[in-house]
Amino acid sequence: MKISVFIIAYNEAKIIGQCLEKLHWANEIVVVDSGSSDDTVMICEKFGAKVIYNEFENFGKQKQFALHQTQNDWVLSLDADEVLSDELINEIQSLDFSKGYSGYLIPRTHVFLSKIFKFGSENKKPILRLFDKARGGFTEDKVHEVIKINGNIEHLNHEMLHYTVFDISTAIQKQVKYALLSGELLAEKGKKGSLFKAVIKFPFEFFRVYFLQFNFLNGYQGFVWSMFAAFGSFLKYAKLYDLDQIKEV
């Protein structure tokens, strides 16, 4: 079965080469770029990807646009910071697509500040990425978009690595960006914010992620990740509360 891989990108020169070098087996690679100012486009073209510019509106719409640019029925959606393992590549290449599944969940291993996590809810988390595009597509959510699909879904056994960030500065920028967008998304879905919820989210989220999800076993990086998760949760609900206050003025 021919498979197209598609990726959305913006200034991903630090990591996208590692992603692309593991896609030599793909029948087509489509990268939708939203105006990178670094070497992202040059790197993608070096690996034989078809690069298409599209102005970024939100994550859901950008990924759906990228999906529409692919030529094959079966597609693999990747983020620029995700790298397939050799074992996963072999597993994908040996799949029997005649079994009637509409999609496949892929375990994703969390890598934060260059440490491969062995514990935590983000570690080995299965995510739907390989699917028949005739049977599904992306939600148009501005962030945390998901693939909705009709039909049965199977699990693959081997992992891909998710290299979230390599330094604290980038982690802060990404966490703030996603948290604010998440707060806006909650508001668009009719959720109500409160000062109490915004204040209480930080300590409860830190306790949940650091202790209950065993991130304390991931060392220093596990502690920092838990702090960022807690801060992001606070910021999301602070944004929601702020939007509620604006409505009342």
pLDDT (0 to 100) of residue 96 = 96
The CA distance from 204 to 9, in Å, is: 33
CA distance 154 to 96: 12
Q: How far is C-alpha 170 from the geometric centre of its chain's CA atoms?
A: 16
User: Whole-prediction pTM value?
Assistant: 0.94
Tokens of 150: 């009709």
d(CA 48, CA 53): 16
For the CA atoms of 194, 146, 168, 110, the dihedral, rounded to the nearest 10 degrees, stands at: 120
Q: What is the tens place of the pLDDT at every residue in 21-72?
A: 999 999 999 999 999 999 999 999 999 999 999 999 999 999 999 999 999 9
Contact 80, 12 (CB under 8 A): yes
Residue-wise pLDDT for 94-150, tens only, equals 999 999 999 999 999 999 999 999 999 998 899 999 999 999 999 999 999 999 999
Which spans in 5-124 are helix H?
Answer: 16-20, 40-46, 59-68, 86-93
Q: What is the pLDDT of residues 117-127, one digit of tens each?
A: 999 999 889 99
pLDDT digits (tens, 9 = 90+) for 190-224: 999 999 999 999 999 999 999 999 999 999 999 99
